[in-house]
Structure 1
């Protein structure tokens, strides 16, 4: 599709660079689709910078724009960090909305992206489309008021906030109000004349406090079901406070955008090297190692692929370690976080006791992707809990920590922790070394990778039809959309406890899949097969014990070493058991974005 069509939004990445995000794209597309039946509340996507939110929104708009059957026009506004006056901002905002709305109605992607088209030009469009004619009437009313004698810009802005909902209600073509970097609408727009704005700017008096907080004006719009809002923000603390407190409090759902899974991070690295360094060679296990060492963070993986390190290689674990070390201490990752620390120095480096402040930050690094143990740090440094909590609160304001359920958590960002260690350790004497190598994670990953790859792949299933031979069957097999995929322990009242490597519940109906994975070069025996059958019986017994509907279970055996003759003879007559060898699971893995073969590690 993307090769043959002009897209309404020019994406910042090559199409092939977009990796994973299947589940969240599916959820967001469903959010847009459900607006027509007024079943989608306003929601927010929250993620640290460089996690890929804008790329995600770009892709979402490009998908739903070409879905006229949804009858939902995407209005996509990217908030720029440029100071301006409200009157000029209002005209820009209104022009983008009407242009994009009409473009959707006419399925015209060129109009959608053509910022040179003015509101007066849109009035000249000849159209028999009811929604377009209504939009043109509203444009006419807007221009009469905008260029009229009464320059009540603030009142005009407040009135225009309701226009997407009104147009959606009158025309039947709903709207999805999508605003990127929503929190910045607090700081860059000033309700003043152009001359006064220029004078204040020349004197350096255009402060954040003097700007209009436009986010607060969406208090009514954020409750709309005909034109709900989808907003995003990379200032995690600020966007969270914006949508969960003040005038908007209680009006938004929200979700955190996480790093890529380790398998998908490896796929991204393979893809980037194919595009930008076609002569580079990296084996699947080394790509997995690099992904694990960067926590699957898409920007860090990009930094490795594009690094200026002179001896850049991906052939050994040691060469990848050297590359990561370079990037964190003097490459793009260093520059990214150095800038962030400079921008937030009022929170990070202002302490009555500077040495203590640095020590607290240093010891904070050991809690990567874990709750920060304030008492443990306080005991380590022999200071009060309050002193540590005050510092962690400042790190929260600087977007180095996130908070939920009254606790602080360190972001899942091992490269950030390594940067902090590099910056602060050299200024501190006599402190213990904190190991941030992640090698324990990789060793664990090697043992569990097949289960993880199967889980990640099953989460991408969406009622597609796959060749039955991938599952040891003839014909074709339709795979379901799952509500969730995870590991599970099950035990019935008359059975023992069983661990299920992969357990998935179908979105519709009462179906469940259970999977047994064997990740070695030896063949799977009848013993593992019987274990899965016993787990299925325990799962059904557990449901009966709890008074729940007994699930219809699909069993699936996955073995990189294949299956013994006895096992194969048994499976031939069992239609309710799928089985995939190394070639079969690789084919399924590749069908859902995997661009490398699942490795079988030597020490497995």
Structure 2
């Protein structure tokens, strides 16, 4: 929680509605911090629509703004779809930059988004070195801006977009150039006079200047690198990968929430939007799994207008989800998207074949699309399927990476497509989009997911030692990497490590064994984890790499046998968390419900 009542950016959700994203926020925070030492590249955030990009950027700016020790001012520009002349846009862009830069220098959160004209900023009182220099830049900008007309706007723009780098270089206070909906800068700014633009009844993007291309120099800056994102994944990808910007951007992909964090979000959302509705932890997890942890869909469930809306059992939740996909906000969202992209989706010589290809591609949720398998199923040339998938890529229904097509991790999109197309395609076998296998996996893996998500959120906090079977306090580390992994030496058995964590700035790793039942963990599982640790050491020795220090963590919702507790009593390198301990830990890092104990695991 920020230590002020005034935030630079007014966020679109309640403060405690913001869920998860800790790892990604930390990574972006470090990206901003590294600008101070010229250690960050320009980066593009990639994610499908309604995944929460803008909410994430809002929180990032609100976080780094209050860190003057970084000496990196966040410049946050939200591009809107409003037709403007370049001269008009230049003034808006420059005013936003100077206002936010001064706000950061003086830690004046109210100024960050204050409605103030650029001339009036000259009267702003600042003693900060960078702030004083910014006022000098404003004077020079206004002198040039007021002297020239629209015919010189592009030249003036090219000069100005280098100002963040120059100001950061001379003053020592760098800049993080953060632009939301970056791709829209291609279509709504016109390098012409206001009169000429007004005389064109329907420009429809024709004649608009490609402003993203003008950032070719700025995108390589280390003193004012860029962080850009947009709601059109394919378009933003092509914008930063092609033409003058090619090779200048790194990428980060924003995924849906984890299933446990999605359950937290649903709990939070119901408190605000349906306070008369209650949901158990088990059913919140079920609902989150059914929509793939997608934040927008979880909001749709919480705010659904379905008559008789209830979350009392799985059937009731399924009814709300079905209503939203076939009649509610999820339907409206995707129906609008399909209408907007009809030129790609329905652009086929054989419309019936096009529908069949779209229908069959739904079975590849978050997996590489098997073009050959679809072609064989439909008895059509592989090239016909490839052409259609390329159009779906242009319509932002699939994404492409490593030269392969993948469907977005979006089960509700898949169900929407099935609902829209299946009724028109007689004689085709039904595709099963049930999430039951995921639910069964979730029940078996939930504790591992809780441990993994919690470890991702650790950041040197001091926590009660009782949560780890220790006395006093335990300081948890910041992890550079957290995942499930398998270890195997040249002549050893393979061991599955439930959760593996590598500490940041330390040659130390954690190996976690998770037991999610109501029976106690016995010594055999401890021996198994110790064997995995030995194999890990042997792997490093065989590879000729330094052997890390290893810490073991036993997590068991059923507790531990006396033999285990006696064995680990004097071992500082082994932590042991029972149900109460891991539950406290889960709640300390965002959990707003108790960890469920599913009946199937009794």
TM interval, shorter chain, is over 0.9
| Deviation of the 1:128 alpha carbon | 2.2
| Deviation of the 1:527 alpha carbon | 1.1
Offset from partner CA, 1:376-424 (integer Å, 9 cap, x none): 1111111101111111100000000000111111110000000000001
| Deviation of the 1:491 alpha carbon | 2.5
- 1:300-319 to structure 2, matched below 5 A, reads 300-319=297-316
- Counterpart residue number, 1:262: 259
Distance in 1 between the 2:129 and 2:283 partners? 57
Offset from partner CA, 1:149-171 (integer Å, 9 cap, x none): 45411111111111111111111
> Contact 2:165–2:224 at 8 Å: present in 1 too?
yes
1:568 aligns with 2:552: no
- Counterpart residue number, 1:224: 221
Gap regions ≥5 residues in structure 1: none
Distance in 1 between the 2:341 and 2:489 partners? 54
SS in 1 for 2:600: coil
Distance in 2 between the 1:563 and 1:348 partners? 57
- Counterpart residue number, 1:50: 50
- Counterpart residue number, 1:501: 498
- 1:84-483 to structure 2, matched below 5 A, reads 84-114=84-114, 116-149=115-148, 151=150, 152-200=152-200, 203-204=201-202, 206-483=203-480
Distance in 2 between the 1:422 and 1:81 partners? 32
Offset from partner CA, 1:322-361 (integer Å, 9 cap, x none): 1100000000000000000000000001211111110110
Distance in 2 between the 1:558 and 1:149 partners? 69
1:491 aligns with 2:483: no
Distance in 2 between the 1:436 and 1:345 partners? 24
Q: TM-score, normalised by structure 2?
A: 0.98
The structure-2 alpha-carbon separation of the partners of 1:522 and 1:190, relative to structure 1 and needing over 3 Å to count, comes to same
Offset from partner CA, 1:224-278 (integer Å, 9 cap, x none): 1111111111100000011111100000001111100111111111111122222
- Counterpart residue number, 1:17: 17
CA RMSD after TM alignment: 1.1
Distance in 2 between the 1:219 and 1:487 partners? 40
- Counterpart residue number, 1:586: 583
- Counterpart residue number, 1:59: 59
| Deviation of the 1:541 alpha carbon | 1.7
| Deviation of the 1:3 alpha carbon | 7.0
Gap regions ≥5 residues in structure 2: none
- 1:31-50 to structure 2, matched below 5 A, reads 31-50=31-50
Distance in 1 between the 2:536 and 2:143 partners? 67
SS in 1 for 2:227: strand
| Deviation of the 1:126 alpha carbon | 2.5
Of 530, 539, 544, 1:542 maps to 539
Distance in 1 between the 2:496 and 2:148 partners? 74
Count the aligned residue pairs. Answer: 600
Offset from partner CA, 1:118-139 (integer Å, 9 cap, x none): 1111111232222122111111
Offset from partner CA, 1:538-589 (integer Å, 9 cap, x none): 2112211221111111101111111112222222222211001111001111
Offset from partner CA, 1:267-325 (integer Å, 9 cap, x none): 11111112222232211111111111100100001100110011111110111111100
Distance in 2 between the 1:167 and 1:147 partners? 21
Offset from partner CA, 1:514-543 (integer Å, 9 cap, x none): 011111111111111111112112211221
Distance in 1 between the 2:543 and 2:286 partners? 42
Distance in 2 between the 1:357 and 1:128 partners? 64
Moved more, 500-509 or 68-77: 500-509
